[in-house]
């Protein structure tokens, strides 16, 4: 009877023995325990996964109770809703991988996107990534009726599911499979949205609630000029929060592309005295890269950006400005873990820290696996982010502004079947 913690083992390379086979030959048991056992006689759970045999796709949607306004738009639209795509990848070894993405990728899976990776070896994740990405610059994109942003979005849950398979096959939590630096990650909470019918007293009450929950870093929304909020209005909001929470709490500001260049410089210098950890995406969408150079030389607040970049090429332009201090690439929304890790390395070479946008259940593992991981975004209001509170039976624990990772293989998540049934629509 086989026992003990699951591990990947190293072996000398034979001519016909690949590194992947070596790693997986002893996954889940000491090497001696498997010696001489015909592969077909091994328990199904110990067979090495070499083929993706099936995929299931579920789209979750839930209406939100109110509008949570950023500078120019509310979360989830004018009729706000939370949406989430959940991918379940089956393998010939009986190991199942889960990946999550945004709901905008659902249509591609209705149109055959899964055909790109069905039958592939899940450990050939690099090849699968390139195969999916190649569609964005070939005729197949138009012939299939797909879109380039749709492909980039669909890649994210596929890539995450493959990493879940690989790390589970080795019996390792994802952050250790990737090469761990730590097993805890600092966390901030995002709140302070513009909310209809609510002003500074309600804002202060909300933020005090996060502090009472143990958070020591909080991000607020600014930049709402098109909604009638001047720089002075934003200053008074942030000032009230700073006075309420004291100097020991970190405050970040997110303008969500709400200001032009001159207003950004004015606002950042006005806010500086409130001890701001970073100012995020201040500039209008049409000139939010090159103009950051002007912002950088005219403000003393560190700058953060990158959540909207879809690939390393767009993020490279951003990093080459030498203007940002924090990169916020989102592997849940764009291109997956494979691309995120490449970008983390590029950022490290430029002395830029990474603080990814959203989804702590996956980004926590990634931050714990790189030396320049900074801090993780989270949400503590179930009205703003209901899925974090409702769809998991198991997830990484957040306590007192720290996310804790354990030794559960893979991403360490388990879904709540009742919640998936309540909010889910089967796509595939």
Under 8 Å between Cβ of 401 and 215:
yes
CA 267 to chain centre: 29
Structure tokens belonging to residue 285: 């969408």
CA 394, CA 414: separation in Å to the nearest integer? Answer: 5
Has residue 53 got a pLDDT over 80?
yes
Kindly state whether residues 35 and 181 are assigned to the same domain. Answer: no
Within a domain: 119: no
Residue 194's beta-bridge partner residues? 69
Within a domain: 155: no
CA 156, CA 113: separation in Å to the nearest integer? Answer: 12
Looking at residue 370, the DSSP 8-state letter turns out to be S
Mean local confidence (pLDDT), 219-232: 96
- Domain range for 184: 177-411
Question: Per the structure, how many domains does the chain have?
Answer: 2
Mean local confidence (pLDDT), 366-390: 95
Confidence (pLDDT) at 40: 34
Within a domain: 153: no
Residue 107, exposed/middle/buried by CB under 10 A (0-12, 13-18, 19+)? middle
CA 215, CA 186: separation in Å to the nearest integer? Answer: 10
Q: What is the CATH number of the domain that holds 218?
A: 3.20.20.120
Q: With bands split at pLDDT 50, 70 and 90, how would you rate the model's confidence at 287?
A: confident
Q: With bands split at pLDDT 50, 70 and 90, how would you rate the model's confidence at 7?
A: very low
Do β-strands 303-305 and 68-69 pair in parallel, antiparallel, or remain unpaired? unpaired
Residue bearing tokens 């010939």: 92
CA 379, CA 298: separation in Å to the nearest integer? Answer: 31
What pTM value is reported for the model? 0.87
Has residue 342 got a pLDDT over 60?
yes
Where are the alpha helices (H) located in 273-385, listed in sequence order?
A: 292-297, 312-320, 336-349, 360-367
Residue 266, exposed/middle/buried by CB under 10 A (0-12, 13-18, 19+)? middle
Under 8 Å between Cβ of 194 and 229:
yes
Within a domain: 7: yes
Structure confidence by residue, pLDDT tens digits, 246-262 = 999 999 999 999 999 99
Has residue 18 got a pLDDT over 50?
no
Has residue 41 got a pLDDT over 80?
no
Nearest to 217 by CA among 188, 254, 252, 186: 188
- List, in order, residues 6 or more apart from 158 with CB less than 8 Å away: 87, 89, 99, 117, 128, 132, 336
CA 373, CA 368: separation in Å to the nearest integer? Answer: 7
Structure tokens belonging to residue 170: 């080795």
Within a domain: 105: no
Structure tokens belonging to residue 371: 């030396």
CA 177, CA 161: separation in Å to the nearest integer? Answer: 14
Within a domain: 232: yes
Within a domain: 197: yes
Confidence (pLDDT) at 29: 39
Within a domain: 93: no
CA 58, CA 331: separation in Å to the nearest integer? Answer: 19
Kindly state whether residues 260 and 407 are assigned to the same domain. Answer: yes
């Amino acid at each position: 009877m086989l026992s003990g913690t699951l591990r990947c083992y190293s072996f000398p390379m034979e001519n016909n023995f690949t590194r992947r086979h070596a790693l997986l030959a002893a996954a889940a048991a000491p090497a001696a325990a498997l010696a001489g056992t015909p592969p077909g006689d091994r328990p199904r759970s110990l067979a090495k996964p070499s083929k993706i045999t099936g995929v299931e796709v579920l789209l979750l949607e839930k209406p939100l109770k109110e509008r949570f306004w950023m500078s120019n738009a509310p979360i989830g639209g004018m009729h706000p809703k939370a949406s989430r795509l959940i991918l379940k990848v089956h393998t010939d070894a009986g190991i199942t991988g889960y990946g999550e993405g945004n709901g905008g990728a659902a249509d591609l899976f209705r149109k055959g996107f899964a055909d790109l990776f069905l039958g592939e070896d899940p450990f050939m994740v690099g090849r699968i990534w390139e195969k999916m990405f190649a569609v964005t610059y070939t005729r197949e994109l138009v012939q299939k009726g797909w879109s380039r942003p749709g492909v980039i979005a669909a890649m994210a849950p596929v890539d995450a599911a493959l990493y879940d398979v690989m790390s589970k096959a080795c019996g390792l939590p994802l952050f250790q499979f990737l090469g761990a630096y730590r097993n805890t990650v600092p966390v901030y909470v995002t709140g302070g949205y513009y909310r209809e019918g609510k002003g500074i007293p309600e804002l202060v009450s909300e933020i005090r609630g996060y502090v009472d929950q143990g958070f020591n870093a909080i991000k607020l929304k600014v930049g709402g000029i098109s909604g009638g909020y001047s720089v002075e209005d934003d200053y008074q909001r942030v000032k009230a929060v700073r006075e309420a929470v004291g100097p020991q709490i970190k405050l970040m500001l997110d303008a969500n592309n709400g200001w032009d260049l001159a207003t950004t410089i004015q606002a950042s210098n006005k806010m500086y005295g409130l001890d701001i950890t970073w100012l995020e995406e201040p500039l209008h969408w049409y000139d939010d890269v090159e103009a950051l150079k002007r912002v950088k030389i005219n403000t003393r607040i560190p700058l953060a950006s990158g959540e909207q970049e879809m690939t390393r090429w767009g993020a490279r332009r951003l990093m080459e400005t030498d203007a940002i201090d924090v990169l916020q690439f989102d592997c849940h929304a764009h291109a997956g873990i494979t691309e995120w890790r490449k970008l983390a390395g590029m950022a490290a070479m430029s002395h830029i820290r990474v603080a990814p946008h959203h989804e702590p259940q996956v980004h926590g593992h990634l931050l714990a696996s790189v030396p320049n991981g900074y801090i993780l975004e989270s949400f503590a209001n179930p009205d703003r982010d209901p899925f974090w509170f409702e769809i998991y039976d198991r997830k990484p624990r957040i306590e007192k502004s720290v996310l804790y990772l354990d030794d559960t293989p893979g991403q360490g998540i388990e879904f709540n079947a009742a919640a998936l049934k309540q909010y889910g629509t089967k796509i595939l």
